[in-house]
Amino acid sequence: MFNIFKREGLFGDVNQITPEDAHKKISEDKGKNTLIIDVREPHEFNGNLGHIENAKLIPIRLLPLKIADLEAYKDKDIIAVCHSGARSYSACSMLKRHGFDKVYNLKGGMLLWKKSGLKTFI
């Protein structure tokens, strides 16, 4: 299956997914069963690291206000993305507190995604 690591956090386990495994997962299901949430700021989302195709931009500061909007995605896998993995880790913890079970933190964030040679969009 996919190489997913667990990391113990303040609010329980947060699953980690590598950029390669995230890309494989997104490619295999054509985004039908996976939602990508980018929790960076708009200038980062459109900046030099770019963003993952079809990622939904929800800055971490606005995530608490958008939880209700994400209820429709509770049955899908959610991959949270940020610059290096710290903010997206917090986003995963927040989503888990609100009953989202299938959340994954993109290990290394967009830095590792780009370093891995995976395609980005600006």
Domain boundaries, the chain: 4-115
pLDDT score at 7: 45
At 106, the amino acid letter reads: L
pLDDT the model gives residue 4: 45
On the question of pLDDT at 1 being above 80, the answer is no
pLDDT at position 31 over 80: no
Is the pLDDT score of 25 beyond 80?
yes
Question: How much is the average pLDDT of 71-96?
Answer: 96
Q: What pLDDT is stored for residue 29 in this prediction?
A: 87
Domain 4-115 has CATH 3.40.50.300: no
Question: CA 92, 93, 96 angle in degrees (round to 5)?
Answer: 85
Nearest-angstrom CA–CA distance, 38 and 44: 10
**How far apart are alpha carbons 25 and 96 in whole angstroms?**
20
Q: Give the global pTM.
A: 0.89
d(CA 1, CA 54): 23
State the average pLDDT over residues 82-88: 97
User: Which positions are catalytic?
Assistant: 82
Q: Rounded mean pLDDT of the chain?
A: 91
